[in-house]
């Protein structure tokens, strides 16, 4: 099993290319089920999660061609051979559940295992199923599988989500593109990934209005056609590498970076002392003079502070010159990185969904264990400024969402390498 070894050192300097968005890619791949024509995706990251959902798609009969080292994917769902997404595949990746809406809309039937993914708390799928039932689907849970059927097709309706669920918004939106009539989704998710999915579906012939707002209006069409779509910049990888020069010092230009992808996070970074400049190729992030300032943050749906950047931000706050309070409102159990940071000399108190972070002057390298995807990279970031050597174990979590993180950081001066056991 691989591990990442980080030695605390000097400041960072250089450029990092930000990859295409993992979460966007997963949703667009699932949406290719909606058409018989080929869907070509460019700027796709080469990640374990992409390979996992590809396995799910191929099990349904989708043909996939990978070009340019996997950066380009051509998906053809012309001849679906199954409407069952099996447990052994879906359990590995929660986003695999996103095939439910497209598969039901396209074939009138879908059997999808209840999902798995990172152990960061319960993320019930009832809101997905309620939406599909309102659209006329018959839904049953049997033996750990969702059995959904709509032999006469789905029907437009009005859906009011009790919270702005990203996955449920996307499943319902995708299904509604082929429903009869008009579907209105209220309290819809506004994440850039959701907007990107809507833009791709519209390019395929869907009629979706309101993407990026809390109300979506989808007028069903008879069929969708193929498309070539570029995957947008990964905002979580962007935010992650924005933290790196703050922790290690120095200045890094993040190619493809855009402030509109992470508005609240960027504001919090500036509050902590970061200098962020827009360049012709992206964003340049530098640590300003003086220590890192303590900043309070509360995770919220977009455009608020992203839950997927909370662990990285905590690593930075561990080195601030005061006390910050981080509140996690999206997922429970998402402070599992805190005990590992304590092993490195951090001072963090966790009570329920609130973490109080008391900044320390320095941290020390230690063997630590990655507990989930974002926690893994937070430990690597902490290691950039820690005295001595930090060994991050169980980095298979890291490989689900970050492509060659050690190469990207070493290219800007970090002392980091991957070790195979």
> What pairing do the DSSP bridges indicate for beta strands 282-287 and 39-42?
unpaired
Q: What is the mean pLDDT of residues 75-84?
A: 96
Angle between helix 166-176 and 22-31 (nearest 10): 30
Contacts of 339 (CB under 8 A, 6+ apart): none
Strand partners, 391: 5, 367
Output the furthest CA–CA distance in the chain (Å, rounded). 65
Q: How confident is the model at residue 372 (pLDDT cuts 50, 70, 90)?
A: confident
The answer to whether 23 is a known ligand-binding residue is yes
Over residues 204-259, the pLDDT tens digits come to 999 999 999 999 999 999 999 999 999 999 999 999 999 999 999 999 999 999 99
Given the residues 118, 157, 200, 318, select the one marked as catalytic. 118
pLDDT at 115 over 90: no
The answer to whether 94 is a known ligand-binding residue is yes
Rg of the chain over all Cα atoms, to the nearest angstrom: 21
Angle between helix 22-31 and 48-59 (nearest 10): 10
> What pairing do the DSSP bridges indicate for beta strands 354-358 and 323-327?
antiparallel
Q: What is the mean pLDDT of residues 385-396?
A: 93
CA-to-CA distance for 360 and 271, rounded, in angstroms? 18
Q: How confident is the model at residue 24 (pLDDT cuts 50, 70, 90)?
A: very high
CA-to-CA distance for 37 and 27, rounded, in angstroms? 17
Q: What is the mean pLDDT of residues 397-421?
A: 92
Q: Which of 121-130, 270-279, 324-333 has the highest mean pLDDT?
A: 270-279
CA-to-CA distance for 270 and 52, rounded, in angstroms? 37
Name the region of 139 (left: φ>0; alpha: ψ -120 to 50; beta: rest): beta
| Mean of pLDDT over the chain | 94
DSSP conformation letters of 198-225:
HHHHHHTT-EEE-TTSSEEEEE--S---
What letter does residue 337 receive in the DSSP assignment?
A: T
CA-to-CA distance for 243 and 286, rounded, in angstroms? 9
What pLDDT was estimated at residue 116? 55
Pairwise pLDDT comparison (10 vs 84), residue with the higher score? 84
What pLDDT was estimated at residue 57? 98
The fraction of the chain above a pLDDT of 70, given in percent, is 97
pLDDT at 333 over 90: no
The answer to whether 2 is a known ligand-binding residue is no
What pLDDT was estimated at residue 119? 41
What pLDDT was estimated at residue 124? 67
Between the alpha carbon of residue 93 and those of residues 30, 191, 313, the distances in Å are 13, 20, 25
What pLDDT was estimated at residue 160? 98
The fraction of the chain above a pLDDT of 90, given in percent, is 85
pLDDT at 120 over 50: no
pLDDT at 136 over 80: yes
Q: Are 369 and 340 in contact (CB under 8 A)?
A: yes
Q: How confident is the model at residue 345 (pLDDT cuts 50, 70, 90)?
A: very high
What pLDDT was estimated at residue 373? 75
Q: Count of CB atoms within 10 A of residue 119's CB? A: 11
Over residues 39-72, the pLDDT tens digits come to 999 999 999 899 999 999 999 999 999 999 889 9
What pTM does this model have?
A: 0.93
What pLDDT was estimated at residue 279? 98
Best CA proximity match to 126, nearest among 157, 152, 100 = 100
Between the alpha carbon of residue 27 and those of residues 169, 194, 219, 331, the distances in Å are 11, 8, 20, 20
Q: Is 118 in the active site?
A: yes
Q: How confident is the model at residue 118 (pLDDT cuts 50, 70, 90)?
A: very low
Between the alpha carbon of residue 77 and those of residues 95, 194, 197, 226, the distances in Å are 18, 22, 18, 10
pLDDT at 163 over 50: yes
What pLDDT was estimated at residue 117? 44
What pLDDT was estimated at residue 10? 85
What pLDDT was estimated at residue 177? 98
CA-to-CA distance for 281 and 164, rounded, in angstroms? 32
What pLDDT was estimated at residue 125? 85
pLDDT at 100 over 90: yes
The answer to whether 330 is a known ligand-binding residue is yes
Residue ranges of domains in the chain, CATH in brackets? 3-18+233-419 (3.65.10.10), 22-230 (3.65.10.10)
Ranges 80-94, 187-201, 296-310, 376-390: which has the least confidence: 80-94
What letter does residue 232 receive in the DSSP assignment?
A: P
């Amino acid at each position: 099993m691989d591990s990442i070894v980080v030695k605390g050192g000097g400041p960072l300097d250089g450029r990092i290319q930000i990859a295409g968005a993992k979460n966007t890619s997963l949703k667009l791949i699932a949406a290719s089920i909606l058409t018989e024509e080929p869907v070509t995706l460019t700027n796709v990251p080469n990640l374990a999660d992409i390979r996992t959902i590809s396995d799910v798609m191929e099990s349904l009969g989708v043909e996939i061609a990978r070009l340019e080292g996997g950066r380009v994917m051509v998906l053809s769902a012309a001849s679906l051979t199954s409407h069952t997404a099996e447990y052994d595949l879906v359990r590995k990746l929660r986003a695999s559940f996103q095939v439910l809406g497209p598969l039901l809309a396209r074939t009138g039937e879908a059997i999808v295992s209840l999902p798995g993914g990172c152990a960061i708390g319960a993320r019930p799928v009832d809101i997905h199923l309620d939406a599909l039932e309102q659209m006329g689907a018959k839904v049953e849970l049997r033996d750990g599988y969702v059995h959904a059927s709509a032999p006469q097709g789905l029907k437009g309706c009005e859906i009011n989500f009790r919270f702005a669920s990203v996955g449920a918004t996307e499943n319902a939106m995708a299904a509604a593109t082929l429903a009869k009539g008009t579907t209105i989704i209220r309290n819809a998710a506004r994440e850039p990934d959701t907007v990107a999915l809507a833009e791709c579906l519209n390019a395929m012939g869907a009629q979706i209005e309101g993407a990026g707002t809390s109300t979506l209006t989808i007028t069903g069409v008879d069929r969708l056609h193929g498309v070539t779509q570029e995957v947008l910049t990964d905002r979580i990888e962007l935010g992650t590498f924005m933290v790196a020069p703050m922790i290690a010092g120095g200045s890094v230009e993040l190619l493809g970076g855009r402030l509109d992808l992470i508005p609240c996070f960027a504001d919090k970074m500036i509050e902590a002392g970061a200098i962020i400049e827009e360049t012709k190729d992206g964003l340049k992030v530098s640590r300003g003079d003086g220590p890192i300032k303590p900043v309070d943050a509360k995770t919220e749906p977009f455009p608020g502070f992203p839950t997927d950047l909370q662990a990285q931000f905590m690593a930075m706050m561990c080195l601030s010159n005061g006390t910050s309070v981080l509140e996690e409102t999206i997922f429970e159990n998402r402070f599992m990185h805190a005990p590992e940071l304590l092993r490195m000399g951090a001072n963090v108190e966790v009570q329920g969904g609130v973490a109080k972070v008391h900044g320390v002057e320095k941290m020390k390298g230690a063997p630590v264990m990655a507990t989930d995807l974002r926690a893994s990279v937070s430990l690597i970031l902490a290691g950039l400024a820690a005295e001595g050597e930090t060994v991050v174990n169980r980095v298979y979590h890291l490989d689900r969402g970050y492509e060659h993180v050690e190469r990207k950081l070493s290219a800007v001066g970090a002392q980091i390498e991957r070790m195979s056991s």
